Structure 1
């Protein structure tokens, strides 16, 4: 029996190509999204091509969500989690962004850890913005929060949605480092991918609101926006045997912009 792949944010700009890649492998899929209409339409498209697809509609930050996901998975072994769901700065206030992007992710990882088949992998989505957090006090606040020492300092620094987003994504990177040992003890791996400027509906909304973002895009050495499938291809690799010694780390997929900025 082929083990299942869970994709969150499955009806989004990175979730769709990710699901298509694993469907092409013949993997059963458990696709999750907050939009029932978009998710159902995409699931039917995949089923028409022969994929085995189960869906779960819901808000990943809801207290019941981890158990809902476990119930939807049933007795199926789990090969991979590719967690693309999240909020960008134009979508919510800073504390809501922290709740969805970090705390819900932390709960999801904890709930699914016992369900992975040996050799499985969790891939989380961070962001290149996490590297831009250079204030030592902010970096320490994130580290302490992920270490379980409280979130008060992080909340204090989350003065606007953009900063809430950056803090949340830096925390996702730290979560991957924290959880690598627990995953490794079970013969599993956990990594994150830091997308740069990717051409997705979410990113387009951000570009319309941010002159700084538009300027930074012009500095990208690749000379263009990335594609959702260019994130999906890295996720597919990280979940493969070819990446069997890759864990506990973040992989920038950013067209070279972080290097150009000196990170």
Structure 2
């Protein structure tokens, strides 16, 4: 059976672990040449190795998404040898820790704005510079259910994820005449290395897990499947959508 992304290139930020790694594996399994970008060489190298061990093609580039010059360099590496950019997942981000608004660390908020807002914006800006001339492409931004509903203790994070929703919708309207689709995924809580360090029996994670009607949190591979679908021709008439993949977390 032909792979749906055969001959296509994909670029994934935050590709060293969690949702980024799972998405790189899933995109490569469908034939894409995947370039993973992030700040930690060891984890990026491991992602590329895992892709190759699974029979896919991958390469990595160390880059900080908050630095515009580094994003430009990373995308140049992603299109090298293939000459085009077909799929982009803007997944790099920072979720911080539980803090009530009156106690919220300004430094933590600044880091969230830099990664979640500036980083996603710069990534889209330079991805579109490749996609607009070729008049095709699919971009997926990794937002969060926190950008759709209120989450006590995470007001700064929620604000940045709501900003990603607004960027996705606005850019989708701009890009549609060029044949480019831009969507977002809004996960609930996901099994990632950060979550693995938390005690699920302590607040606030105990309450957040309980708020998922399925009674569990998502696996990273489940979020990756949504990324694959939104990136594929099966979603050819889908743009400007923020897709909750959250086990019903945002339903109530």
Q: Which category describes the TM-score, using the shorter chain as reference length?
A: 0.7 to 0.9
- What is residue 148 of structure 2 aligned with on the other side? 131
| 28-37 vs 226-235, greater mean Cα deviation | 28-37
Which residue matches 2:67? 62
Give the length in aligned residue pairs. 235
Give 2:91's match in structure 1, choosing from 74, 78, 84: 84
Match of 2:129 among 108, 114, 119: 114
Using the size of structure 1 for normalisation, the TM-score is 0.82
2:233 maps to which residue? Answer: 241
Identify unmatched segments of 5+ residues in structure 2.
1-5, 99-106
Structure 2 contact 17–47 (Cα < 8 Å) conserved: no
Tell me whether 1:212 sits opposite 2:229 in the alignment.
no
Q: Using the alignment, how far apart are the partners of 2:128 and 2:201 within structure 1? A: 37
Moved more, 209-218 or 229-238: 209-218
| Separation in structure 2 between the aligned mates of residue 210 and residue 89 of structure 1, nearest angstrom | 16
Residues 63 and 119 of structure 1, relative CA distance in 2, 3 Å threshold: closer
Please give the secondary structure, in 2, of the residue aligned with 1:90. Answer: coil
Map of 1:24 onto structure 2: 29
Per the alignment, do residues 102 and 253 of structure 1 end up closer, same or farther by CA in structure 2, a change over 3 Å counting?
Answer: same
19, 22, 27: which one aligns with 1:14: 19
Matches within 5 A, 1:1-263: 2-73=7-78, 74=80, 76-90=83-97, 93-116=108-131, 117-133=134-150, 162-205=154-197, 211-260=203-252
Partner deviation per Cα, 1:241-263 (whole Å, 9 max, x = no partner)? 11111111211111002112xxx
SS at match of 2:83: coil
Structure that is richer in helix per residue: 1
Q: CA RMSD in A?
A: 2.3
